[in-house]
Amino acid sequence: MLNPAGEELWTVEGPIVSFYSFPYPTRMAVARLANRQLWLWSPIALTSELAEALEKLGEVRYLVAPNKLHHLFLTEWAERYPGARMYAAPGLAKKRPDLTFSAELGDESPSEWQNEIDQTVIGGSFVMNEVVFFHRPSRSALVCDLIQKHDKSAFSGWRRWAMQLDGVVGPDGSTPREWRATFNKRAVTRAGRDTVLDWNPRQLIVAHGPIIRENAKDVIASSLAWIG
């Protein structure tokens, strides 16, 4: 269930969820910090088996929602781990007033993980921004929806055609085309993208697509070339 992804980093595959009738896979990343506290990126559906595996690993302490879409399972995590702190991407707290967030994520990592995980906001969109993370021990960039590389075989009929047209299928998958059009402040977007490239990540973990084990910097640069 916990798939090793590098030094003190694991991934967990979750269930398929429906997004406007399209089947979307889910993936969570788990980083174990130096104090054995667990940092969870994009928490997936919680099961007793998953909880048991995590509790053997350390203390579930930080629940991180990297954008305004990846929040579906936060309630169940908060109920099981009331001592965990939740962090929201810009705009999510307004969307989910039923949840209590400790802080909104920005370009600076909170003190709780600043020595091990860097972060930056890819902004400039009037619809949705995303917080991208860099796990230093494993040299891994964590990108949620900004880069999507879906398996073409997961779709059929008009859905496959639509996903290909949207530019989010296969090795050349990138940001959905309709989302790209909302980035009207490209200087802001480029600044965030350049920060990610300056991290010089070796590995790229995305929520929707295969994990890129090597040459992540080049893959990110190519996938986000549309930014200019």
The more confidently predicted of residues 95 and 18 is 95
Cβ neighbours around 34 below 10 Å, total:
10
Contact 5, 140 (CB under 8 A): yes
35 CB-contact burial (10 Å; exposed 0-12 / middle 13-18 / buried 19+): exposed
From residue 155, give the alpha-carbon distance in Å to each of 22, 115, 150: 8, 41, 9
Q: What is the pLDDT of residue 108?
A: 97
CB 113 within 8 A of CB 119: no
Say whether pLDDT at 19 is over 80.
Answer: no
Residue 76 has pLDDT above 90, yes or no: yes
Checking if the pLDDT of 20 tops 90, the result is no
- CATH of segment(s) 3-227: 3.60.15.10
Sign of CA dihedral 86, 213, 197, 181: negative
Q: What is the 3-state secondary structure (H, E, C) of 154-214?
A: HCCHHHHHHHHHCCCECCCCCCCHHHHCCECCHHHHHHHHHHHHHCCCCEEEECCCCCECC
Instruction: Give tens-digit pLDDT for 111-155.
Output: 999 999 999 999 999 999 999 999 999 999 999 999 999 888 888
CA 69, 40, 106, 180 dihedral sign is negative
Alpha-carbon 209 to chain mean position: 12
Name residue 173's amino acid: G
Cα gap 31→112, rounded to integer Å: 13
pTM of the model: 0.95
Spell out the residues 6+ positions from residue 60 whose beta carbon is closer than 8 angstroms to its own: 38, 40, 54, 77, 81, 84
Q: What is the mean pLDDT of the chain?
A: 95
Model confidence over 163-218: pLDDT tens digits?
A: 888 889 999 999 999 999 999 999 999 999 999 999 999 999 999 999 999 999 99
Looking at residue 184, what is its pLDDT?
96
